[in-house]
């Protein structure tokens, strides 16, 4: 192995026991994922830290939130990021959503080959789901910026009330001038010295 599949302390509980399956996903991303254009060419260490470890912090947040009755949708999943790592470590059903059919076909092949029975890949328009779904936790990693999400939510406030949005972001604080949203910003390490941000947004 030409990279270190390190596990941050926050992930020890759920990551260690699933390491073999996560390494198989890593291997698939670094070969088929790159070959079929699901991800652009990246070093093995980058794929582990930025795609797999980063994704698993979404799972940590799902556990912390305890929204047991919520469905989970990963919008703009691309190569299954963060939904596939989340589905591997979780017993919950995870819906991977992308607008590109080719991406969905590749994901379906991987899901079938690994017998990941709780993960479903679907070709759908994420914007429609944001407008219509209720009692849902949406995961979004590098799909749309937080400001665009807020604009969509502002137009659909009455529908958004029982939803939670977990979205990758940067260190910029949230300017909540209209006080309609509750935003909790999480800062966490993806390896020994680099940290990332994820926002958890609920509609008040
Ligand atoms: C930058 S990629 C991010 C992929 C992945 N989440 C990641 O973190 O690497 C954005 C993905 O969103 C998908 N996408 C763009 N517009 C969409 C829409 N309206 N509905 C669903 N997926 C969409 C694209 O096909 C692409 O796979």
Q: Examine residue 136 and state whether it is found in any structural domain, yes or no.
A: yes
Q: Which two tokens stand for residue 30?
A: 């670094």
**What is the tens place of the pLDDT at every residue in 94-108?**
999 999 999 999 999
Number of domains comprising the chain: 1
Ligand 1 atom with the smallest distance to the CA of 76 is: 12
Q: Examine residue 3 and state whether it is found in any structural domain, yes or no.
A: no
* Average pLDDT of the residues of the chain: 94
pTM over 0.85: yes
Test site for ligand 1: of 143, 145, 196, most ligand atoms within 8 A of the Cβ: 143
Q: Examine residue 115 and state whether it is found in any structural domain, yes or no.
A: yes
CB 93 within 8 A of CB 68: no
Give the model's pLDDT for residue 173: 79
Give the model's pLDDT for residue 177: 66
What separation in Å is there between the alpha carbon of 76 and the centre of ligand 1?
3
What separation in Å is there between the alpha carbon of 104 and the centre of ligand 1?
11
Structural domain including 74 reads 9-203
Distance CA 163, CA 156 (A): 11
Using only the alpha carbons of the chain, give its radius of gyration. Answer: 16
Q: Examine residue 173 and state whether it is found in any structural domain, yes or no.
A: yes
Q: Where are any strands of DSSP class E within 27-92?
A: 71-75
Place of tokens 């509980």: 13
- CB-based pocket (< 6 A), ligand 1: 76-78, 81, 97-100, 103, 125-127, 141-143
What separation in Å is there between the alpha carbon of 158 and the centre of ligand 1?
25
Q: Examine residue 4 and state whether it is found in any structural domain, yes or no.
A: no
Q: Examine residue 85 and state whether it is found in any structural domain, yes or no.
A: yes
Residue 162, C-beta contacts closer than 8 angstroms, at least 6 positions apart:
134, 135, 136
Distance CA 31, CA 8 (A): 25
Give the model's pLDDT for residue 170: 87
CB 182 within 8 A of CB 201: yes
Q: Examine residue 2 and state whether it is found in any structural domain, yes or no.
A: no
Q: What is the DSSP letter of 174?
A: P
**What is the tens place of the pLDDT at every residue in 6-17?**
999 999 999 999
Give the model's pLDDT for residue 8: 94
- Helix or strand holding residue 97 (H, E): strand 94-98
Q: What is the CATH number of the domain that holds 47?
A: 3.40.50.150
Burial class from Cβ neighbours inside 10 Å (0-12, 13-18, 19+) for residue 75 reads: buried
From atom 15 of ligand 1, which residue's Cα is the shortest distance away?
Answer: 76
Q: Which two tokens stand for residue 56?
A: 């698993």
**What is the tens place of the pLDDT at every residue in 49-91?**
999 999 999 999 999 999 999 999 999 999 999 999 999 999 9
Q: Examine residue 180 and state whether it is found in any structural domain, yes or no.
A: yes
Mean pLDDT of 160-167: 92
Q: Strand pairing of 181-189 and 94-98?
A: unpaired
Q: Which has the closest alpha carbon to 74: 169, 181, 167, 197?
A: 167
Ligand 1 atom with the smallest distance to the CA of 126 is: 20
What separation in Å is there between the alpha carbon of 119 and the centre of ligand 1?
17
């Amino acid at each position: 192995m030409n990279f270190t599949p390190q596990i941050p302390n926050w992930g020890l509980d759920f990551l260690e026991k699933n390491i073999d399956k996560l390494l198989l996903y890593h291997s698939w991303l670094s070969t088929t994922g790159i070959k079929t254009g699901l991800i652009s060419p990246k070093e093995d260490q980058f794929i582990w830290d930025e795609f797999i470890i980063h994704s698993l912090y979404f799972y940590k947040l799902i556990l912390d939130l305890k929204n047991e009755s919520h469905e989970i949708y990963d919008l703009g999943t691309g190569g299954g990021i963060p939904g596939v790592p989340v589905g591997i470590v979780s017993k919950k059903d995870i819906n991977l959503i992308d607008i590109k059919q080719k991406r969905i076909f590749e994901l379906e092949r991987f899901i079938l080959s690994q017998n990941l029975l709780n993960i479903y890949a679907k070709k759908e328009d994420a914007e429609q789901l944001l407008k219509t779904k209720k009692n849902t936790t949406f995961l979004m990693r590098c799909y749309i910026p937080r400001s665009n999400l807020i604009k969509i939510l502002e137009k659909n406030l009455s529908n958004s009330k029982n939803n939670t949005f977990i979205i990758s972001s940067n260190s910029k604080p949230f300017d909540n001038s209209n006080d309609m949203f509750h935003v909790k910003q999480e800062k966490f390490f993806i390896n020994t010295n680099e940290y990332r941000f994820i926002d958890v947004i609920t509609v008040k």
